[in-house]
Structure 1
Amino acid sequence: MKLGIVSILAVSLMVSCKNAQVKKEETAQNTMVNHTITDEQLMDKVQKEALKCFWDYAEPHSMLGRERYHEDNIYPDNDKHVVTTGGSGFGLATVLVGVERGFVPRKEAVKRLTNMMDFLAKADRHKGAWSHWINGETGKTVPFGKKDNGGDLVETAFLTSGILMVREYFKNGNAEEKALAKKCDDLWKGIQWNWYTKGGEKVLYWHWSPDYQWDMNFPLEGYNECLITYILAASSPTYSIDAETYYKGWARNGAYLTDKTKYGLPLYVKHNYAEEYGGPLFWSQYSYIGLDPTGLSDKLVKNYFDLNKNQVLIDYKYCVENPKQWKGYGPNYWGLTAGYTRNEDGSTGYTAHMPTNDNGVITPTAALSSFPYTPKESMDFLRFIYTQKPQFIGSAGPYDATSINYNNWFTPRYLAIDQGTIAPMIENYRTGFLWKLFMNAPEIQQGLKKLSFQSTKYGIK
């Protein structure tokens, strides 16, 4: 689901979850996790459960991630076969975690991943980019909006990050694995990143449609979740952009820097439309599934890890301060990011939760995908929700949206783009597994150097 603030989808499902919630609460005590469970066991558990969205509940033909999975079996617009491009990229990373941790057999994963790459090769592409949504049965573009029926460069970037990590993981394997890596490489090289500069403008654009051309008119300017798009575009061996496009377009010639602080913590950059507190927490996560912020800098931002850590800590401190006095908010129950929400009439909708848009709903992926930045605070949340709030846990881990304030309200539903960041970011905290795969890709190292990035961790100067 597209999550730039000005283009957030306002989904109003208007369906009550009451019956599903009552049923879940009846069995909640049977699924209570014992307090003696160790931190390592808890992390294993939530990673393995989040994997189900992309392994057990994948779209059956393409094997890619469904836009959403509903345990209440209520699907609007018959979208069981709608594949999400960006969420599938996070799903690829999640599957790799599953292989590395032994949750799924390596051979089965190779077979499934090969199926995915074959599907993507035949699916509709728009100057090499995929659309936001794809029909998992036919490979045809599913419009995200009337004029949003073509290439989506940001969702394509999230997908490509996963594709590159798959390539790196299997490129030195057996014959089947090398063949899979080759398919990944071909897909990567076919994306025309520079086309999305609209004829050479020094900025990337989010959308292009064969029917509506550039009518969406959404330039990618920082700071939000789109950094990875510029990194990949600069790293492309076939259709790359130059450094000027990054610094003029994304960095706005330095105009996105700020000296503002919140709770005594520097923000470093102006978070678009959310300069006071920083944006929703997915901004510290989506670009960093593979891109390692540890010791990472460019000519303007001196430490990306500090930038992300401070954004998360500001969100955490806001929830602990709890200026709106929502019931339940505190050190063990925090985290605001885009996802499902509770409408005023009690139905389920969608919004970008953040301190400046806080309606009493906590999205578990916010804290869980922040493990690299706030390991103690994230673990406190993980332990609390599994040991104290089992009604918030479904078959694929914590549900997408929860609220203690509204009588333990929750959605018995999952969004791929939310659930897909949990296992990867926890793994990056535990072992740095995905960060190492992505950062050691030769093109990525060259692309970072082109943009004057430095990484003390990977020797990039």
Structure 2
Amino acid sequence: MRYKIIYTFIAVTCSTILFAQKSKHLKTFPDSIAPVGIIKGLSDSELLDVVQRQTFRYFWHFAHPVSGLARERDNTVKANYYWDYINEADDQPNFSKGTFGPEACAIGGTGFGILSTIVAVNRRWVGRDTALKRLVKIVDFLIKADCFHGIYPHFMNGATGKTIPFGRLDDGADIVETSYLFMGLLCAKEYFNGDSPLEKYFRNRVNEMWSVADWNWHSKGDDKLLYWHWSPANDFDMNFPVYGYDEALITYIVSASSPSHSISKELYDNSWVKSAGWKNGKSYYGIMLPLGNFEYGGPLFFEQYTYMGINPNGLTDDNGIDYAEQTKNHTLINRAYCIDNPKKFKGYAANCWGLTAGDSYKGYVAHCPQDDRSVIQPTAALSSFPYTPEYSMQALKHFYYDLGNKIWGPYGFADGFSETKNWYAQTHLAIDEGPIVVMIENYRSKLIWNLFMKIPDIKNGLKKLGFTSSF
């Protein structure tokens, strides 16, 4: 019924017609998803449908045409529009992202896109067989693409499969981005569990990739530290351990879950739990934060990337950490900071909050209370729906109904905005789009949580690292 309502709006809403006219690929694309404009009077459930569906278009319509991988972003040249808003000497833009060209695809973002595709099939935005063909296209490409001991690079050329270096030393394996990819692949393998030849083929391809990914290679052969990067030209010269607490908890869980190249519990304890950045224990705005080295918790993607697959509810570890408390409290602290608004930025309010990594008038920045530049990322509040549903819905309605003429587009909400600077992004990033689709779905149905948490290998990995889950 809800789809009929949406299609009715598509037919009669002028803004929707304009969106559809501007959209690319709709005439020939399988299972095309027409974009919609601002539709008044939606119920909460209908609004969530519209936002999830339109955000998913990024992965469905804007995927790389050769490989099906998720493009890193939808501005693929230097972000010159940032210069329009530079008024102060210290506001020099940071072009650390958005400079890799139109072929640049994100390995982690592709994992998020795969999770989003599962949501799309389950909600019948696209057909199961059509989606499966897309996923097969992705794995067939990745099987032949650059990888290093089974671990993929951060960025990849979506036409050739060759590594796009992130930096002079970062030109090889990225174990964190690869863990996001496998979060998506393993979950899709669990979802597409039928007996059709194509589903069996897809599962076999994922198994092939999963069996050769050598997570333990990144330990340098001992149980002291797990390293983020390895390069055939530069070895471990990046010398950057994966330590926490941050977005990389899933990396340890996936690495411990491998049936063939698993890391040890000792390595997890030494490199993660015993790191200086793991525990917090302070209170902010009267809210206790169990984990994390950042004051006020840091950017909110810390509580979103890992927990796209891992259900924090009922999840504890042998150090006594309650991960439901961690994820919710960090989110509440971030919101409370925005309401407090110590820098008096325009627009910050109970219905306009969320500091996390994303685009700003200065380029790509890991926004957080410690680095607050007046920029709100819609993904921060929207990907927090499982933790703060009432507050996230407040923010969603404000973003959509009040600011929609400035930030709503064919791929959902623009990546960021600053009312103080009168700056509104023109961009969408794979790593910010995916969590919106998936985390709203986890709030609504627990779909991805239920799939991922029942994977036998993941259960084994959680148990190995000392986690206990009620799911």
Q: What is the TM-score when the length of structure 1 is the normalising length? A: 0.88
Say yes or no: does 1:312 pair with 2:326.
no
What amino acid is the match of 1:404? E
How many Å apart are 1:422 and its aligned residue? 0.6
> How far did 1:80 drift?
1.1
Q: How much has 1:255 moved relative to structure 2? A: 7.4
Q: Separation in 1 of the partners of 2:188 and 2:343?
A: 44
State the partner residue of 2:90: none
| Equivalent-residue separation in structure 1 for 2:200 and 2:310 (angstroms) | 23
CA distance in 1, matches of 2:195, 2:242: 37
- The question of 1:399 aligning with 2:405 is answered no
After TM superposition, give the deviation of residue 288 of structure 1 in Å.
0.9
Alignment of 1:83-98 (within 5 A): 83-98=105-120
Equivalent position of 1:50 in the other structure: 55
**In structure 2, C-alpha distance between the alignment counterparts of 1:78 and 1:137, rounded to whole Å:** 13
In the alignment, what sits opposite 1:368? 382
**1:146 maps to 2:180:** no
Runs of at least 5 residues in structure 1 that lack an aligned partner in the other structure: 1-22, 344-348
Distance 1:444 1:59 in 2: 29
User: Residue 300 of structure 1: CA displacement?
Assistant: 1.4
Q: Which residue of 1 aligns with 2:314?
A: 295
1:333 is matched with 352
1:40 maps to which residue?
A: 45
Structure-1 separation of matches of 2:359 and 2:79:
14
Unmatched 5+ stretches in structure 2: 1-17, 23-35, 81-97
Aligned to 1:286: 305
Residue identity opposite 1:393 in structure 2: W
**Residues 54-133 of structure 1: matches in 2 within 5 Å?**
54-70=59-75, 77=99, 79-133=101-155
1:455: which partner in 2? Answer: 469
Cα drift, residue 373 of structure 1: 0.5
RMSD: 2.0
Q: Secondary structure at the match of 2:105?
A: strand
Aligned residue for 2:159?
A: 137
The amino acid across from 2:417 in the alignment is T
> Any idea what SS the aligned residue of 1:306 has?
helix
Tell me the residue number matched to 1:342: 361
**Quick one: distance in 1 between partners of 2:281 and 2:105?**
40
Q: Secondary structure at the match of 1:413?
A: coil
SS at match of 1:107: helix
State whether residues 247 and 254 of structure 1, in contact with CA within 8 Å, keep that contact through their aligned partners in structure 2: no
Q: How many residues align?
A: 421
Cα-to-partner distance string for 1:311-332 (whole Å, 9 max, x where unaligned):
0100000001111111111011
Does residue 165 of the first structure (1) align with residue 187 of the second (2)?
yes
In structure 1, C-alpha distance between the alignment counterparts of 2:182 and 2:37, rounded to whole Å? 37
With over 3 angstroms needed to count, the CA separation of the structure-2 counterparts of 1:404 and 1:253, relative to structure 1, is closer
Distance 1:320 1:78, change over 3 A: closer
Code of the aligned partner of 2:45: E
Identity among equivalent pairs (%): 45
Provide the C-alpha distance between the structure 2 equivalents of 1:71 and 1:140, rounded to a whole number of angstroms.
17
Change in CA separation of 1:71 and 1:152 when aligned onto 2, cut-off 3 Å: closer
User: Which position in structure 1 is the counterpart of 2:240?
Assistant: 218
Answer yes or no: is the 8 Å Cα contact 2:243–2:275 preserved in 1: no
The SS at the match of 2:399 is helix
Taking structure 1 as reference, are residues 331 and 80 closer, same or farther at Cα in structure 2, changes over 3 Å only? same
Q: Find the aligned partners of 1:100 and 1:376 in 2 and give their Cα distance.
A: 24
CA contact (8 A) 2:55 2:433 kept: yes
Letter in 2 for 1:278: G
Q: Is the 8 A contact 1:394 1:412 kept in 2?
A: no
1:222 Cα deviation after fit: 1.2
Aligned pair in 2 of structure 1 residues 77, 224: CA closer, same or farther (>3 Å)?
closer
In the alignment, is the contact (CA less than 8 A) between 1:168 and 1:438 conserved in 2?
A: yes
- The 1:241/1:414 distance shift into structure 2, 3 A limit, reads same
Distance (whole Å) between structure 2 residues aligned to residue 86 and residue 320 of structure 1: 32
Given the two structures, how large is their TM-score scaled by the length of structure 2?
A: 0.86
1:224 and 1:101, CA in 2 relative to 1: closer, same or farther beyond 3 A?
Answer: same
Give the 3-state SS of the residue equivalent to 1:260 in structure 2: strand
Distance 2:265 2:38 in 1: 52
The alignment status of 1:323 with 2:338, answered yes or no, reads no
Preserved CA contact (<8 Å) 2:244 2:277: no
- The separation in 1 between residues aligned to 2:37 and 2:121, in whole angstroms, is 26
User: 1:59 & 1:255 partners in 2: Cα distance?
Assistant: 37
Find the counterpart in structure 2 of residue 3 from structure 1: none
Q: CA deviation at 1:187?
A: 1.1
Residue 73 of structure 1: how far off its partner (Å): 11
Larger CA deviation: 277-286 vs 299-308? 299-308
Question: C-alpha distance in 1, partners of 2:341/2:369?
Answer: 10
Q: Does the CA-based 8 Å contact 2:258-2:461 persist in structure 1?
A: yes
Separation of aligned partners in 2, 1:254 and 1:103: 45
Amino acid of the structure 2 residue aligned with 1:91 = G
- Offset, 1:429: 0.5
Work out whether residues 76 and 102 of structure 2, in 8 Å CA contact, stay in contact via their aligned partners in 1: no
Change (3 A) 1:301 1:173: farther
Local SS of the residue matching 2:450: helix
